[in-house]
Amino acid sequence: MKQFHLYKWLYLLSILFGMLACEKVYIPNLDTQESILAFEGLLTDQPGVHYVNITKSVGYNDDGNNEKGTGFQVVIEDSNGSKILLTENGAKGRYVTGDQVKGQLYHSYRLVATDPDGISYVSSFETLMPSAEIESISGEYHINSWLEKIDGVGYQEQTQEGVRFFNSTASEGFTPYYRYEYEVVYLSTQIYPTQPFATICYIARPGNSYSKGFVALANGNLFVNKAISHNPVDFISKVQSEVKIVLDSIELDSVGQPIYKYEDIKFYGFGYLLRLKQYSLSEPGFQFWDAIYKQVNATGQLFDPVESQIIGNLVCASDSAQKVFGYFGVSAITAKSNYIYLKQNKEVLIKPIIYFPELEGNIAAFTPFDFWIY
């Protein structure tokens, strides 16, 4: 019986080695993806500089980073025939208007960009619809939770306290489609190591750029009488209003010891100013940004509604089959500002404010606001 098993295994091994000897490397014939132009542009009803960014994605088999779309002739055309010329000023691939340009309500605009070889790319026309006023901003205490992987331990639940805030807007008679971004300013107590006294100042987050960027959408068609109510915008944690200052150098005493340690120099937050900005959208614009939002915020769950490919509203004028990414849109902007404070009893206090401070760098003011709670 033992001899039978030995012959059996020798026979099987001979077959296996024969199979390995005949092994060939198989290289599948895959279609390669060429680089694709991507456009990002916006014209609003607010006077100022407006922009169009043009980039060229890297092909599947190419090395390196995305290229900038340089050398284009870029114009924004009104359906009435007027044109706004944009110039590539400063950063490559970024085309800007003059500093007092603005779109006109109920006018329709499109983007036309022509590359150095004379190939034109055009967007569909977008009509600039007015934005309804933001009626109110509300907030509620919220504990944000997530799972975080810790080396040697595994996944553990982490939590943050903060405020989840919402907006309400009566969009009946206006476009029902909107997207949102916001700006935040915190109160801080800054302690300088060279002088042992506290100086009150207001700072913006994050860093020198205090715009949060696109964070939420709203579709008024989903609300009764298109009255957008309690629409969730974002969550701001208490941790965001506290950050440790790391100095390049600190004052030393006569024997070379630091007067203040790094951990003694902090910013402490006591609530914040919030300016919520609401951008009107066309229906195609809403569909595009809704797809972007779902893509960015997908958590990897089985039923996440993720778009496989988001194209936009631009095409190549001479070759409609050529893929072009991105979107050129027009928006009217309305905004509302509030002071938001989270009390010790978890109640959220919201006060209307007359104005939101314009910032130079990341410092808003050194004079205390009279409405601030300490």
Question: Quick check: 190 pLDDT over 60?
Answer: no
How confident is the prediction for the chain on average, in pLDDT? 79
Distance of CA 22 to the CA centre of its chain: 54
Same domain as 230, residue 337: yes
CA angle 85, 88, 91 (to 5 degrees): 150
The string of DSSP letters for 10-34 reads HHHHHHHHHHHHT-------PPPPP
Q: Which two tokens stand for residue 56?
A: 């060229």
- End of a domain among 69, 96, 127? 127
**Does the residue 154 lie in any domain?**
yes
Question: Quick check: 111 pLDDT over 80?
Answer: yes
Q: Which two tokens stand for residue 85?
A: 């010329």
Distance of CA 372 to the CA centre of its chain: 29
Which has the closest alpha carbon to 352: 333, 331, 371? 371
**Does the residue 323 lie in any domain?**
no
Task: Classify 243 as helix, strand or coil.
Answer: strand
Task: Give the Cα separation of 353 and 34 in Å (integer).
Answer: 51
Task: Give the Cα separation of 276 and 268 in Å (integer).
Answer: 23
**pLDDT (average), residues 312-318:** 93
For residue 151, give its domain range: 134-289+332-365
Same domain as 221, residue 200: yes
**pLDDT (average), residues 52-72:** 77
User: Higher model confidence: residue 232 or residue 192?
Assistant: 232
Same domain as 120, residue 43: yes
Task: Classify 103 as helix, strand or coil.
Answer: coil
**CA Rg, the chain, in Å?**
28
Same domain as 171, residue 120: no
**Does the residue 6 lie in any domain?**
no
Task: Give the Cα separation of 190 and 181 in Å (integer).
Answer: 28
Task: Give the Cα separation of 286 and 290 in Å (integer).
Answer: 6
Listed in sequence order, the residues at least 6 apart from 11 whose beta carbon sits closer than 8 Å to its beta carbon are none
**Does the residue 89 lie in any domain?**
yes
Q: What is the pLDDT of residue 245?
A: 41
Q: What is the pLDDT of residue 343?
A: 85
Same domain as 352, residue 230: yes
Which has the closest alpha carbon to 337: 316, 309, 358? 358
- Contact present, 210 and 240 (Cβ < 8 Å): no
Same domain as 348, residue 211: yes
User: Higher model confidence: residue 108 or residue 251?
Assistant: 108
Same domain as 165, residue 42: no
Share of the chain above pLDDT 70, in %: 67
Q: Which of 61-70, 109-118, 314-323 has the lowest mean pLDDT?
A: 61-70
**Beta partners for residue 85, in sequence order:** 75
- End of a domain among 98, 127, 156? 127
Q: pTM of the predicted model, to two decimals? A: 0.78
Q: Which two tokens stand for residue 111?
A: 């983007």
DSSP H or E stretch at residue 285: helix 283-297
Q: What is the pLDDT of residue 364?
A: 55
Same domain as 255, residue 236: yes
Question: Quick check: 10 pLDDT over 50?
Answer: no
Total count of domains within the chain: 2
Task: Give the Cα separation of 374 and 21 in Å (integer).
Answer: 79
Task: Give the Cα separation of 18 and 12 in Å (integer).
Answer: 10
Q: Dump pLDDT digits (tens) for 273-305.
A: 889 999 999 999 999 999 998 888 766 555 555
Q: Which of the four pLDDT bands, split at 50, 70 and 90, describes residue 314?
A: very high
**Does the residue 374 lie in any domain?**
no
Distance of CA 165 to the CA centre of its chain: 17
Q: What is the pLDDT of residue 58?
A: 65
Domain CATH for 41? 2.60.40
Q: Dump pLDDT digits (tens) for 204-238.
A: 543 333 456 789 999 999 999 999 999 999 998 87
Same domain as 83, residue 164: no
Same domain as 118, residue 87: yes
Listed in sequence order, the residues at least 6 apart from 266 whose beta carbon sits closer than 8 Å to its beta carbon are 191, 242, 243, 244, 245
- End of a domain among 84, 99, 127? 127
Q: What is the pLDDT of residue 116?
A: 94
**Beta partners for residue 38, in sequence order:** 55, 325
Q: Say which residue the tokens 């055009």 belong to.
A: 122
Q: How many CB atoms lie within 10 A of CB 229?
A: 17
Q: What is the pLDDT of residue 104?
A: 96
**Does the residue 284 lie in any domain?**
yes
**Does the residue 319 lie in any domain?**
no
Q: Which two tokens stand for residue 346?
A: 């978890």
Same domain as 248, residue 159: yes
**Does the residue 24 lie in any domain?**
no
Same domain as 110, residue 157: no
User: Higher model confidence: residue 242 or residue 251?
Assistant: 251
Which has the closest alpha carbon to 35: 55, 14, 59, 18? 59
Listed in sequence order, the residues at least 6 apart from 280 whose beta carbon sits closer than 8 Å to its beta carbon are 128, 129, 130, 131, 132, 174, 175, 177, 178, 331, 332, 333
DSSP H or E stretch at residue 3: helix 2-21
